[in-house]
Structure 1
Amino acid sequence: MPAVADTGTSCEDLVGTAISADDIGLPTSGAEVTTARVASPNTAGAYCLVEGRIAPVSADAPDIRFRVNLPLDWNGKAVHFGGGGYNGTVVTGTGSVPSAPAGTPTPLQQGYATFGSDSGHSSAEHPGGSFALIEESLVNFAYAALKKTRDVAVSLMETHYDHTPGQTYFVGSSQGGREGLMVAQRFPTDYDGVFSRVPVVNFTGQQLFVNALAEPILDGGWIDAAGIALLDATTRTTCDGLDGLVDGIISRPQDCDVDFEALLCEAGETAGCLTQEQIDVVEQFHAPLVLEYALANGVAGYPGFPVGGEANDWPFWVMGANGAPGFTVNLGADFIRYFIAQDPDFDTVGFDPNAPEWRERILEVSELLDATDPDLSAFHASGGKLILQENLGDNGRSAFAGLDYHASVTEALNKGRTDKFFRAYAVPKADHSGGAGPNDVDWLALLDRWVTDGRAPRDVVLQERGTDRTRPACEWPTWSRYFRGDPDQATSFKCMKAPGFKG
């Protein structure tokens, strides 16, 4: 589509613009623009920065605060940016797409209209997961704010440009990755393409899993930096060479059997080993959580985590400071406290998700939050395309959860049909933020090409940040094995079929 001039309402005149509740696809009390101004030019030119609020239905719920960026030289397309963590801050939409190589122009610099929101609460006013005590805020966080923000943003594009976008994409990582899968499932005709990186797809299962780590960590299982380094060295020694090359990258963690009991301290040992309590935590981290009942969409629990990446990720995500659990475990505690028990003073240590008194609430929350519905037939029928990136060195949430979701879609729709619109890639070594190995590629360009030209991505080349090392991102469930040549070049690897894979 050629560039579209702003033939409608000028930027400054957007201030005070009201969007009727009837023009928003889910219940609100309408929306309004509070500020609109031409922002300082970026490398692609100036844009109209629009901010506003979407009013709630319930008097006790906060507004959804949003931002929309309307480039003066519009390419006729739009990108919705997802959030992170428990959200609570307005997504600016001015940054890069997750995993974009350094120097790649941002979507806004490329002429995309971009937008995002705070998902319906302020983290300053509702810290942690406390917003979940307000029912409308919880539903907004789960999925509703996505639809409301999208409808308002598209309405403003039509007002400003006298034109709606030809293509609308969603991009997000972690929480934003979950949101990307959610819009494909719940609002299948609203988006032409979705890029979802490391999504917290099984949100409820994830939080139940990590919260369960708190008790054994606090009960003697906390591991210091030396112990984490020992774990990292052990997994690399055991698993690194399974892809034909010892290079610090574990390509097949699912095929690696690490004997953690071999690290047990003998009598009198205090260094270079782990206590039984510490080993128990490690083994629990890698073992699945199996519930006595199914969560939404028949999901039975949560998979364990892949081995690898301990030195990079564990000091923050799993083990905190001075014997306390890390960040992801604390997120799980907030989830139990606010989403499930609905009690800010609830003691989350030792919480039993199988206890009968909690099941109804857990299932209710799971139905709202979990982006695990495998029936993407409506998204496919509308022409939607979906790219999933899972990072195998991510210890903030398990890559196996997203890969399990891909498998569930394949089972529901069959492989031939799924391959027409859904591609998944498992990236070795890369961590939750995408560093620690070859990770970067311009997924938005590949997604846009797939949508507009019908050219589907296959095995693409990943770039490591700050180096010249590249590695193929193999279409799951194939994986990269070293063949011959320069070990730092993707051309030296082949994407291999996993044992038993008949695709």
Structure 2
Amino acid sequence: MEKRLTLTTLAVLTALLYGCGSSSGNDDKKPDDPPQLSCADITTEALDIPGLVISKATEAAATDPGTSASTPAHCLVEGELNQRKSDVDNQQYAIGFEVRLPTDWNGRFFFQGGGGTDGAVNPALGGLPGEGQTTNALSEGYAVASTDGGHKSIDDGTPAGGSLFGMDPQARIDYGYNAVGEVTKVAQTLIERHYDKEADHSYFVGCSNGGRQAMVAASRFADLYDGVIAGNPGFNLPKAGIQHAWDNQQFASVAPLDTATNRPIIEQSFSIPDMKLVASKVLGVCDGLDGLKDGMVLNSSACQAAFDPVKELVCTSGQTAGTDCLGDAAKVEALVRVFDGPRNSKGESLYASWPWDAGVGEMGWRVWKLAMPFPNPDPTIPNSIIATMGGSALPYIFMTPPKAVSGAGHGLIDYLLAYNFDTDAPGIYATNDIYTQSSMQFMTPPDPTDLSAFSAKGGKIIVHHGNSDPVFSVHDSIQWYENLKNADAKAGDYARLYTVPGQNHCGGGPSTSQFDLLTALVDWVENGKAPEQIIAMASPDSTLTDVESRPLCPYPQYAKYDGSGDPKVASSFQCVAS
């Protein structure tokens, strides 16, 4: 395989070329400092960074004021890093990126995290965490960068196309962490050269895989970032990939069989009314544990102790399945196994458990776990996201060596249903002479409980996670935070976790998921004001009926009703210890 410049080497070269820089402007320029670049002057030759190709640098006019897609006047820069042809899969690769430099700059840098398996450069507008946003980071004056994660998705006509890059070992590493580090350095150089000044502060914000990237950035690139927001982070994404196989096997065990093919129709294992009934049973036991019945489970830890799925869901004599109860013991036990998380034959946990919560009856839960909300031409080929995107990511990206699985027909579901939790699951830790880093090495922070370098420079991290997230378990984020506190008694000085009752994956559900975390993070980083409760509004699309707002409390606290105030609003709730 061809040799690649490491991040360290690139940093040294950049420092030698441009000097260490400072946060001051023109008054501190030295005679040998490189000249300031207008947008038109930003070229491959002018930057002279090894492996960098600038394909576009143009002035863009302001558009769509007052919307989440608004773009103020800015310089749009597009390019690639480290173009190469793989000697493993013979495909062309490069780290694609986009940087937008607003004319009215606020002095800050914002890296926009990716999603899924990446594979495309999304417009670097700087989407803000929380639903219902009417602006973005670019419009608020941030310089914004985004990347495709070091590969382009291949349109092979099947759901597997986005994961085929996993055959190339360097593409795996670029996707896991290297693309973020490489693009961050280029973006910060562009900022310094265009504005003649370094960014005063740098922020990384993402959800889902972007949340994982955020946690990786705080660990691997602590010197490059001051603040991080990690939403619904799949920082143990390879383990969550094992959950995808586990889920499908449990669903298949109670799914009706197609008479023509004798294959399970997984989407019919648990119907929409089935899961709404489960949600209603959870609310019946847990809704009042926070002092108010409002369609939300705010005291989740108490709920997990109080809710007995077998007692609440298994039909007994005289009950009607689908109305009074979910079904027989086998059906309920299959769902319990899903919520307990994957295990091998020794009973050892391979990922995390999942909380019983009100959002499991929502379409935002179902599309990931069971089925998309449109007719499926062949119901024996599941169209859920964990069976399509997850079903290809597991063999191609997370297993070592990668396994070529057909994305056509029943290829992906056959792979998932045959996955062995004793012999296959260890593949996420495996390496060989070609794939020298396991997926658990390139996808996760080197040591998730060690943020000493990040905290030492004053870095702050906010993690938010929906309690009804169907793809990455909030219990995994809770365990990370508990481990962090056990490793560092002062972790609360630089890290906060906010769980979002009812919320599905990065939004949706019966939740108050409209909130402003970026302002809270900036205030913490730049003014030393640590966030306590975050006021969250019910979005216009929320299924809640009599809820306007609630406080999001720093874990392990939860929001408890004060017993007398207006039950619709956050001011009537206090953050109390679980």
TM over 0.5: yes
Aligned amino acid, residue 282 of structure 2: T
Shift of 1:102: 3.3
| Match in the other structure for 1:25 | none
Q: Which runs of 4+ in 1 moved over 6 A?
A: 1-4
Structure possessing the higher radius of gyration over alpha carbons: 2
Structure 2 regions of 5+ residues with no counterpart? 1-22, 27-34, 66-70, 256-268, 431-437
2-structure distance, mates of 1:370, 1:353: 21
TM-score, reference length from structure 2? 0.78
Residue of 190, 195, 203 corresponding to 2:229: 195
Residues 383-433 of structure 1 show CA distances to partners (whole Å, capped at 9, x for unaligned) of 11101111112223211111111111111111xx21111111112112213
Aligned amino acid, residue 318 of structure 1: K
Deviates more, 1:445-454 or 1:426-435: 426-435
Per the alignment, do residues 8 and 21 of structure 1 end up closer, same or farther by CA in structure 2, a change over 3 Å counting?
A: closer
Residue of 153, 160, 165 corresponding to 2:194: 160
Helix, strand or coil at the partner of 1:63: strand
Structure 1 regions of 5+ residues with no counterpart? 23-29, 499-503
Residues 307-360 of structure 1 show CA distances to partners (whole Å, capped at 9, x for unaligned) of 1212213321111164637213444322332131422247231312322x6525
1-structure distance, mates of 2:425, 2:465: 31
1-structure distance, mates of 2:276, 2:25: 53
2-structure distance, mates of 1:333, 1:471: 37
| Match in the other structure for 1:182 | 216
Deviates more, 1:94-103 or 1:215-224: 94-103
| Match in the other structure for 1:54 | 81
Residue of 308, 326, 330 corresponding to 1:259: 308
Q: Given the alignment of the two structures, is residue 381 of structure 1 paired with residue 456 of structure 2, yes or no?
A: yes
Deviates more, 1:214-223 or 1:319-328: 319-328
Within-5 A mapping of 1:4-403 = 8-17=36-45, 19-20=47-48, 30-42=51-63, 43=65, 45-56=72-83, 59=86, 60-99=91-130, 102-103=133-134, 105-125=135-155, 127-221=161-255, 222-256=269-303, 257-261=306-310, 262-265=312-315, 271-272=322-323, 273-290=326-343, 301-308=350-357, 309-312=359-362, 313-320=364-371, 322=379, 324=382, 326-339=384-397, 340=399, 341-345=402-406, 347-355=415-423, 359=426, 361-363=428-430, 364-371=438-445, 373-403=448-478
- Indicate if the aligned counterparts of 1:58 and 1:136 stay in contact, CA closer than 8 A: no
| Match in the other structure for 2:571 | 491
Residue of 546, 550, 560 corresponding to 1:471: 550
- Indicate if the aligned counterparts of 1:204 and 1:362 stay in contact, CA closer than 8 A: no
- Indicate if the aligned counterparts of 2:460 and 2:495 stay in contact, CA closer than 8 A: yes
- Indicate if the aligned counterparts of 2:102 and 2:142 stay in contact, CA closer than 8 A: yes
1-structure distance, mates of 2:531, 2:573: 18
2-structure distance, mates of 1:147, 1:493: 41
Per the alignment, do residues 193 and 95 of structure 1 end up closer, same or farther by CA in structure 2, a change over 3 Å counting?
A: closer
Aligned amino acid, residue 281 of structure 1: A
| Match in the other structure for 1:501 | none
The two structures, once aligned, show a CA RMSD in angstroms of: 2.7
- Tell me the matched-pair count: 482
Identity among equivalent positions (%) equals 26
Aligned amino acid, residue 62 of structure 1: Y
TM-score, reference length from structure 1? 0.89
Per the alignment, do residues 241 and 67 of structure 1 end up closer, same or farther by CA in structure 2, a change over 3 Å counting?
A: same
Residues 18-75 of structure 1 show CA distances to partners (whole Å, capped at 9, x for unaligned) of 65555xxxxxxx1111011111214474101111111245544511110000011111
Shift of 1:270: 5.7
Q: Given the alignment of the two structures, is residue 411 of structure 1 paired with residue 486 of structure 2, yes or no?
A: yes
Helix, strand or coil at the partner of 1:55: strand
1-structure distance, mates of 2:173, 2:24: 38
- Indicate if the aligned counterparts of 1:2 and 1:76 stay in contact, CA closer than 8 A: no
| Match in the other structure for 1:26 | none
Deviates more, 1:78-87 or 1:203-212: 203-212
Helix, strand or coil at the partner of 2:418: coil
Helix, strand or coil at the partner of 2:230: strand
Per the alignment, do residues 271 and 460 of structure 1 end up closer, same or farther by CA in structure 2, a change over 3 Å counting?
A: closer
Per the alignment, do residues 144 and 111 of structure 1 end up closer, same or farther by CA in structure 2, a change over 3 Å counting?
A: same
Per the alignment, do residues 3 and 479 of structure 1 end up closer, same or farther by CA in structure 2, a change over 3 Å counting?
A: farther
2-structure distance, mates of 1:192, 1:78: 10
Residues 208-258 of structure 1 show CA distances to partners (whole Å, capped at 9, x for unaligned) of 122111122123241111212211211111211111111010112332233
Aligned amino acid, residue 287 of structure 2: D
| Match in the other structure for 1:442 | 516
Aligned amino acid, residue 497 of structure 1: A
Per the alignment, do residues 127 and 277 of structure 1 end up closer, same or farther by CA in structure 2, a change over 3 Å counting?
A: farther
